[in-house]
Amino acid sequence: MKALLLMGSPRRNGNTAALLAPFREELESAGMETETVWLYDRDVRPCTACRRCQEDWTAFGCSQADDVSEIFNQVLESGLVVLATPIYSWYCTPPMKALLDRLVYGMNKFYGKEKGPSLWAGKAVALLTTCGYRPEKGTDLFEEGMRRYCRHSGLRYLGGHAERHLGYDTVFMDEGKATRTRAFARELAAAI
């Protein structure tokens, strides 16, 4: 099975990247193929609500010529989609939010003259987040938003794992965080 890791951090050596490393290793040791897409390296434009994507129920169908069509295909080819993002102002980063907006319309053919199918119904989704507040006060809004997003789209929400950074003058990654992150990856692999 393939896991698509959508990385929403702008920093290749940041906290979310540090958390993603043991997570990815654990998924791979469980026999999963992984692919990481760095969203800040891609052209991900915001949705314009033109609804052109609703005209063809078999394809992405977006009017914008950017990288989201390719990501759409990568999502369809994956059994697990992991949203890895730092939390900025209680939600994901801008390119991830833009991608989520584009996918909810391009994947769900619910918004045209007639209600169509969800092209990604049944896919598994999980969150891997970092934040500066305690997770129950830092990632809770994003996690609740993603629960609703998944329910709306017919996706299987498998849960989230968050780790807190105590400040810029402290080291983020430690053995405890790596151990908890690996355990979450094992849980996901077992749930698929």
What the block records as the tokens of 18 is 């540090």
Per-residue model confidence (pLDDT) at position 168? 85
Helix (H, G, I), strand (E, B) or coil at 88: strand
Strand ranges inside 20-97, DSSP E: 33-38, 80-86
Amino acid at 96: M
CATH number of 2-191: 3.40.50.360
Q: Give me the pLDDT at residue 144, please.
A: 98
How many Å is the Cα radius of gyration of the chain? Answer: 16
Q: What is the pLDDT of residue 117?
A: 97
Quick check: pTM over 0.85?
yes
Cα-to-chain-centroid distance, residue 159: 11
- Kindly tell me the sign of the dihedral angle through the C-alpha atoms of 144, 145, 146, 147: positive
- pLDDT digits 0-9 by tens, 118-172: 999 999 999 999 999 999 999 999 999 999 999 999 999 999 999 999 988 899 9
Check residue 95 and give its pLDDT: 98
Ranges under pLDDT 70 in the chain? none
Bridge partners, residue 2, by sequence: 33
H or E stretch at 2: strand 2-7
